[in-house]
Each structure stands twice: as structure tokens, then as C-alpha cells.
Structure 1
């Protein structure tokens, strides 16, 4: 198992060194926010997300504190943009699940932490870095991904992703 993780780190490093620094084309982002206590809280996040010119629609589920953000085609947003907007509203991300074009997962700054294959046009993945999951979840993930050198470093410009579909 350790050999496989080292191979992933090596491949990810090579991709990072030689790839053009371009972001994924994100189609949709599902953000579960933490710290919300009322509808005014969700309204603050909603307003922040709608300030992005790439956003076409934001749907809010008050029962789960989830914001589904639909984006314009051809955008170059990164997960960091969503984190910044949620934090600007005064809250934190508990989970960030992204639907993006399938070629996204092979581009810098995305680093796979699992080897799930997907041949579809779009791929759904979760960002598993600190600040994109709850503190409790991050502690658990840190133990699971301790052999992935780039995960341990916690560089805010790298996005460790787990393929979901």
C-alpha cells in the first residue's frame, strides 16, 4: 500500500512541475457550511457566492446548510474561491463536493488520494484538505493520508481530492 501512495506522490509531483497552472472547469459545487444558526446566516453565504461573476445559480437547503452553486461554462475557479467566499461571510466549509470536467483530476493543482477510475464526461470529487472538511474529519484523514507527502505539507494551493463517482 505504501508503494502505491509513493507512486501517486511521484506522479502528482511530475504533473505539478510540468503542467500549465490552469484550474479545472468546475460545473457545480456543493458546499456544506458549518456554524450557521439561522436563515440570515445562510443569506450571508448566498450573497457572497452570488458576487462571483461565474455563478449562474445558488440553491440553498436550510435543513442541511448546503449551497449548490451552478457555474458558467469555461470558468477557471478553484476550490479556494469557494472557501474564501464562505469565510468572508463569517462561516466555514464542512464539506466541498465538486462536479467538474473529467480532465480536471489530471491537472495541477489537483492531487488524487484514491485510485477510483471514472470514464464519464464529468467527475464528482470531494476536496479533503484542511479548511474543506470539518476539523474532526481532517484529523481522521490526516492519519489515512499520512504517507502522501503533499497532504502532510498542507499547501493551500494544492487540492487533494477523493473521487466519489
Structure 2
């Protein structure tokens, strides 16, 4: 009887271990930075982004100041990580577009501002909070979303998102 109980415990442990492994992850981030004046500025951001072990590749477009960050699987990054890295380099995010597994937005930190995503597979969305859009855009969004309590609260752990088709 003891051997059977141990077998159940081992099987239950294995099932629990695999169920805890989250597939909710960011696949790619497209960051448009503001405040850059030269290639050395973009190099500073590039170095900050590449310093993360979860980053597989960073592509830079100097014409648009856009950094496309491709991530390794099984990462647990949030938009806040990208904001911190860009700010550590001395710059700001003008827009942040994220491609992610659909399960990511079910964790409670993501608040949908629209619901028109009928796409299967990875989803793409823009983060609309302060620090993830330009100051001018944030003021406009604040006025149009003044009735949404979580938006005006400006909690750094809540991410208000809009699906991009």
C-alpha cells in the first residue's frame, strides 16, 4: 500500500510541476524610443536590452528609433522590464507594441481597452499607460479614459492594452 501511495505522490508532483510551467509569455516587443539624437544613443538602449538573459535578438531601425526585441521562450517579462531598461539608458518609450501568447493577458495585470481581437495564435497589443506612450498621447488618453478607475490610478503593475490587428 505504501508503494502505491508513493507512486501517486510522484505522479501528482510531476503533473503539478508541468502545470506550474507557464506558457504565458511575451514573444516580441517593438519599442519606439524618444529623445535619441545620435547612433550612440541607440547603442545605449541596444546594450541595455541585450543585457537581459531572456533576449534572443535586438534589431534597431535608426530611421524610426525602433528596437525590435525577440525573446527566448519561457520568459516571465512584463512591459515594465522594457520601460526600466530604456529609462536606464537615459531615454523614454514613445510606444510599446507587444506580441505575446494569448494566456499572458489572463493574468489580471492586463486591462483590455478594446476587445476586437479575433485572431488565433499570438496576439499583438499596445500598452497605453504613462511611460509607454508619449506624454501628449497619455494626456489625450487620460481625458478619453477618465471613467476607467484603474487608468487614472496609474498603478505601475497594471497594463492597459489595446489589441492591434
- TM > 0.5 between the two? yes
Verify the 8 A CA contact 2:23 2:74 in the aligned structure 1.
Answer: no
Aligned equivalents of 2:24 and 2:155: distance in 1?
18
Unaligned runs of 5+ in 2: 1-19
Q: RCO (CA 8 Å, sep 6+): is it higher in 1 or 2? A: 1
- What does residue 31 of structure 1 align with? 31
Name segments (4+ residues, structure 1) moved above 2 Å. none
Aligned equivalents of 1:24 and 1:92: distance in 2?
26
Matches within 5 A, 1:117-156: 117-156=117-156
Verify the 8 A CA contact 1:102 1:119 in the aligned structure 2.
Answer: no
**CA-atom RMSD in angstroms:** 1.5
Asked which structure has the greater CA Rg, the reply is 2
1:78 aligns with 2:69: no
Structure 1 residue 118 displacement after superposition: 2.7
TM-score by length of 2: 0.84
Structure 1 residue 144 displacement after superposition: 1.5
Aligned equivalents of 1:107 and 1:23: distance in 2?
12
Deviations 1:114-139 (A, max 9, x none): 12133411000000000000000000
- What does residue 50 of structure 1 align with? 50
Verify the 8 A CA contact 1:23 1:109 in the aligned structure 2.
Answer: no
Aligned equivalents of 1:88 and 1:58: distance in 2?
17
Unaligned runs of 5+ in 1: 1-19
Structure 1 residue 23 displacement after superposition: 9.6
Paired positions, count: 145
Aligned equivalents of 1:69 and 1:119: distance in 2?
22
SS at match of 1:49: helix
Deviations 1:10-37 (A, max 9, x none): xxxxxxxxxx9x8940000000000000
- What does residue 91 of structure 2 align with? 91
